[in-house]
Structure 1
């Protein structure tokens, strides 16, 4: 079975849909982990949280992280 997530490409600002297989192989990492996803909008590799759909560098994506001001 597959589930669909939606994330925003940080380069183009385009909403991107991606499907993950819910079946996890034995010995796989935790369900709340970041996986590489090839973005069709910019053809780059983004790391997306397989549970929440948030990007690795997105503010608030990591527990305990706080956005920094420039």
Structure 2
């Protein structure tokens, strides 16, 4: 048997609990590094997360999909290592 609702009746809504919180997009999204490839001049997004400034610089190697070369990226500034550094 089908149950018929009265006209104008508002259906009950189910409350969904959000375990992550209301600001999940701003806190869960990582600040990924995007740098300009020194060989091609193209903007390249990495899978490296930007880190807070530290006393010592820390670099991570990244295989660039634009030029297929290996770049060393400063994790604090997001800039590739240059010949001057």
Q: Calculate the TM-score normalised by the size of structure 1.
A: 0.60
Which runs of 5 or more structure 2 residues have no equivalent in the other structure? 1-27
Once residues 18 and 36 of structure 1 are traced to their aligned partners in structure 2, the CA distance between those partners, rounded to angstroms, is 10
Say which structure is richer in strand: 1
Whether contact under 8 Å (2:49, 2:75) holds in the other structure is: no
Once residues 21 and 4 of structure 1 are traced to their aligned partners in structure 2, the CA distance between those partners, rounded to angstroms, is 5
Which runs of 5 or more structure 1 residues have no equivalent in the other structure? 23-29, 63-70
Q: Any residues of structure 2 matched to 1:1-70 within 5 Å, and which?
A: 2-20=30-48, 32-57=57-82, 62=85
Deviation above 4 Å: which 4+ runs of structure 1?
A: none
Once residues 42 and 77 of structure 2 are traced to their aligned partners in structure 1, the CA distance between those partners, rounded to angstroms, is 18
RMSD: 2.4
Please give the per-residue CA displacement for 1:23-64, whole angstroms capped at 9, x wherever unaligned: xxxxxxx784111000000010000001211111076xx5xx
Say which structure is richer in helix: 2
Give the number of equivalent residue pairs: 53
